[in-house]
Amino acid sequence: EVQLLESGGGLVQPGGSLRLSCAASGFIFNNYAMSWVRQAPGKGLEWVSSISDSSRNTYYADSVKGRFTISRDNFKNTLYLQMNSLRVEDTAVYYCAKDSGDHDHWGQGTLATVSS
Amino acid sequence: QAGLTQPPSVSKGLRQTATLTCTGNSNNVADQGAAWLQQHQGHPPKLLSYRNNNRPSGISERLSASRSGNTASLTITGLQPEDEADYYCSAWDSSLSTWVFGGGTKLTVL
């Protein structure tokens, strides 16, 4: 059974940093691209970033480019999202998703709140 | 990055048929199709249909997806109370090299 477990969310002040993690199990992690997708309170889904299976290719939404960095450790079966220079508008539940060509499995999400 | 366009809400009666639409452009929906996701309040999204219109294992046969040009559609027949949820479409944009999502449609089953 595919399982994705996010962690690392919390409350941070504007300008601060957070590092999100997503522990994967139940599938061959290094065979799949992975993505982060966020959802602000009461809003729709917004794609944030994706990374290829080997980490060779990374992709970012314009709204986070230059501030967020996606990475993965295929030995630890873990996906990361380093979030710097956080803004109030980055407040959201952050989901990691397995990318088999579509986002076919999702974690439960972790809430990141940016507020003074 | 421009997203996909979905109607904000659709309301249908119990056991009726609902068709949800998702409009993109030649670089996303028309190029590789759109996937469909369902999200119940307080839960993560769940994939209902791949971009090739196939259903993942365990998804009800009452759901079917299709595409015509820049518009993808999700049809749900025999509506049940548990179908009441938010529905999102998503597609890969080959020009932008980004994923794009629709704004979501809230389906209400009366």
The tens digit of pLDDT for each residue in A39-55 reads 999 999 999 999 999 99
The answer to whether the Cβ–Cβ distance between B50 and A50 falls below 8 Å is: no
Considering only CB atoms, B47 lies closest to which of A45, A103, A108, namely A103
Q: Which of residues 5-34 of B touch A (CB under 8 A)?
A: none
Residue A56: C-alpha distances to residues A13, A30, A80, A107 (Å): 32, 12, 15, 23
User: What was the pLDDT predicted at B56?
Assistant: 93
The whole-angstrom separation of Cα A34 and Cα A49 is 9
Q: Which position has the token pair 């080997």?
A: A54
Pairing of strands A110-114, B98-101: unpaired
User: What was the pLDDT predicted at A87?
Assistant: 98
- A58 forms beta bridges with A51
User: What was the pLDDT predicted at B2?
Assistant: 67
Residues of chain A with pLDDT below 50 are none
The whole-angstrom separation of Cα A8 and Cα A111 is 8
Contact residues, chain A, for B100 at CB < 8 Å: 47
- B90 forms beta bridges with B35, B101
DSSP string spanning chain B? ---BB--SEEEE-TT--EEEEEE--TTTHHHH--EEEEE-TTS--EEEE-TTSPPPTT--TTEEEEEETTEEEEEE-S--GGG-EEEEEEEEETTTTEEEEB--EEEEE-
A75, amino acid identity: F
Nearest-Cα distance to chain B for A116, in Å, is 26
The tens digit of pLDDT for each residue in B74-104 reads 999 999 999 999 999 999 999 999 999 999 9
User: What was the pLDDT predicted at A12?
Assistant: 98
User: What was the pLDDT predicted at A74?
Assistant: 97
Instruction: Report the C-alpha dihedral over residues B7, B12, B18, B21, rounded to 10 degrees.
Output: 0
Nearest-Cα distance to chain A for B93, in Å, is 12
Question: Best of A1, A5, A45, A63 to disrupt the B interface by mutation (most B CBs within 10 Å)?
Answer: A45
Kindly state whether B40 is in contact with chain A, defined as any CB-CB distance less than 8 angstroms: no
pLDDT band at B38 (very low <50, low <70, confident <90, very high): very high
| pLDDT for B1 beyond 90 | no
Considering only CB atoms, A44 lies closest to which of B47, B56, B101, namely B101
The whole-angstrom separation of Cα B13 and Cα B11 is 7
